């Protein structure tokens, strides 16, 4: 699919990987609508010439309104990138007792159900494009989907489910001319990680096989663009991690 003519929605686009993707897509000529729960993201979106809709990805009415807004502004939707997500670190049985059920549930709710909520409603709008190839969906997993660490039961479960649904989604949506892939990033230098002390960032970077550094969000964004542009990529989860294998 030619990105320069695309109309893309990017969730979580107020920050980090989503913001880098929205900016890269704009650089390549795509129209972009950013969907994020953070109202403060509107300014950054305006600065790159993207539309913005304050959205809670877990809420059906909120996502419906946001996608309707995107269609009204851009004339349709061809690409949906799901980057909205949250991270928790909590052991199954820790010093303070068992894992909180509400934090486990919330992680699944945002990372998994939120992504599914957006993509199912975006797919409905893509199908209306009426072409041989109607759209591309890119979800964000994590290498924690495959080698989650201590304290990552909730996060890893949410991301393993993203990877696990990639193939059935591709099969479900093939008849509508929609491709579905996921990206499993390693450790990227987003605001979330940049907030950690420098020595923690350095020790994380030292675990990466090569190159020994955090991933740059633009490297994630370029992988999204590659997936959109390569029509034969479908049903696959791509690791982008400098060969990091977490222990």
**Chain centre distance of CA 111:** 9
Of residues 26 through 85, those in contact with ligand NAD by CB under 6 A are 36-38, 55-58, 83-85
CA distances from 35 to 12, 18, 40, 131, 189 (A): 6, 10, 12, 25, 21
Q: What whole-number distance in Å separates Cα of residue 126 and Cα of residue 134?
A: 6
Of 10-18, 88-96, 97-105, 171-179, the segment contacting ligand NAD by CB under 6 A is 10-18
Site residues for ligand NAD, window 198-237 (CB under 6 A)? none
Residue 245 in contact with residue 147, Cβ under 8 Å? yes
How far is C-alpha 55 from the chain's CA centre? 15
Quick check: 8 binds ligand NAD (CB under 6 A)? no
Applying CB under 6 A, does 238 fall inside the site for ligand NAD? no
**Active-site residue identified among 25, 52, 104, 155:** 155
Closest CA to 149 of 217, 245, 17: 245
> Residue 135 or 185: which CB sits closer to ligand NAD?
185
- When asked if residue 142 is in the footprint of ligand NAD (CB under 6 A), the reply is yes
Tokens of 16: 């980090």
- Cα–Cα–Cα angle for 74, 125, 224, nearest 5°? 70
Which of 71, 193, 233, 240 binds ligand NAD (CB under 6 A)? It is 193
Active site residue 155: yes
- Of 178, 187, 224, 227, the one binding ligand NAD (CB under 6 A) is 187
Q: Among 42, 48, 71, 86, which residue sits at the site for ligand NAD (rule: CB under 6 A)?
A: 86
21 forms part of the interface with ligand NAD (CB under 6 A): no
Nearer to ligand NAD, 134 or 187 (CB): 187
DSSP state of 91: -
Q: Nearer Cβ to ligand NAD, position 71 or 193?
A: 193
- The answer to whether the CB of 107 falls within 8 A of the CB of 144 is no
Tell which residue, 17, 13, 6, has the closest CA to residue 140: 17
Q: Is 11 or 166 the residue whose CB approaches ligand NAD more closely?
A: 11
Answer left, alpha or beta for residue 49, where phi above 0 means left and psi between -120 and 50 means alpha: left
Active site residues: 155
Query: Which residues contact ligand NAD (rule: CB under 6 A)?
Result: 11-12, 14-18, 36-38, 55-58, 83-87, 110-111, 114, 140, 142, 185, 187-188, 190-193
């Amino acid at each position: 699919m030619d990105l320069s003519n695309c109309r893309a929605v990017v969730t979580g686009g107020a920050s980090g990987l989503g913001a880098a993707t929205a900016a890269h897509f704009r650089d390549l000529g795509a129209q972009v609508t950013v969907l994020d729960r953070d109202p403060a993201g509107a300014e950054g979106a305006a600065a790159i010439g993207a539309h913005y809709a304050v959205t809670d990805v877990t809420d059906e009415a909120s996502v419906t309104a946001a996608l309707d807004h995107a269609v009204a502004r851009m004339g349709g939707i061809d690409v949906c990138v799901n980057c909205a997500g949250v991270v928790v670190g909590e052991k199954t049985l820790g010093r303070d007792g068992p894992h909180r059920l509400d934090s486990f549930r919330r992680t699944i709710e945002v990372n998994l159900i939120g992504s599914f909520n957006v993509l199912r409603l975006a797919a409905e709008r893509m199908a209306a494009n009426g072409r041989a190839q109607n759209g591309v969906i890119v979800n964000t997993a994590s290498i924690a989907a495959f080698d989650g660490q201590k304290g990552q039961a909730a996060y890893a479960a949410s991301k393993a489910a993203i990877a696990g649904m990639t193939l059935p989604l591709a099969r479900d949506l093939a008849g509508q001319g929609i491709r579905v892939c996921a990206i499993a990033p390693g450790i990227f230098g987003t605001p979330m990680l940049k907030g950690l002390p420098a020595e923690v960032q350095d020790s994380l970077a030292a675990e990466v096989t090569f190159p020994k550094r955090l991933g740059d969000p633009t490297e994630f964004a370029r992988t999204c663009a590659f997936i959109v542009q390569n029509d034969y990529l479908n049903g696959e989860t791509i690791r982008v991690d400098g060969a990091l294998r977490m222990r």
